[in-house]
């Protein structure tokens, strides 16, 4: 599933290799628009593990590889475990990545 994200840039965490990231608690609910022009909220995935990738469709190198890798993992999990995980890609370029563009990319 591809979603459009309207947000500012994220801040990186500057952790040492042996340092654990801080536990910050559950993510707040959010609602985005899918490639099928449907509203999708975080709470729609309650009870599932969520794998989220931030991409943009005009990315020429890392994004297509990441998307292919997520699709491969989803396929390998198969019907036994696959439905328990939601694979979500969120665009960081919603002005160019319209629903139609995201649908074609997917």
Which pLDDT does position 100 carry in this prediction? 92
Bridge partners (DSSP) listed for residue 85: 49
Structural contact between residues 64 and 106, judged by C-beta atoms closer than 8 angstroms: no
Q: Give the tokens for residue 28.
A: 């707040």
Which pLDDT does position 23 carry in this prediction? 82
Structural contact between residues 57 and 94, judged by C-beta atoms closer than 8 angstroms: no
Which pLDDT does position 74 carry in this prediction? 86
Which of the residue ranges 2-6, 27-31, 38-42, 62-66 has the most confident prediction, judged by mean pLDDT? 38-42
Q: Is the pTM of this model over 0.85?
A: no
Pairing of strands 39-41, 2-4: unpaired
**Residue 7 pLDDT exceeds 50:** no
Which pLDDT does position 26 carry in this prediction? 82
Q: Which fold has domain 46-106?
A: Glutaredoxin (3.40.30)
Q: Give the tokens for residue 94.
A: 């919603």
**Residue 86 pLDDT exceeds 50:** yes
């Amino acid at each position: 599933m591809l979603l459009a994200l309207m947000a500012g840039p994220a801040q990186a965490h500057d952790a040492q290799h042996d340092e654990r990231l801080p536990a910050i608690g559950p993510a707040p609910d959010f609602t985005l628009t899918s490639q099928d022009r449907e509203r999708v909220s975080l709470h729609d995935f309650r009870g599932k593990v969520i794998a989220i990738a931030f991409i943009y469709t005009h990315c020429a190198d890392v994004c297509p590889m990441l998307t292919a890798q997520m699709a491969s993992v989803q396929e390998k999990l198969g019907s036994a475990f696959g439905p328990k995980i939601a694979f979500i890609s969120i665009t960081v370029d919603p002005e160019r990545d319209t629903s139609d563009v995201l649908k074609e990319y997917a």
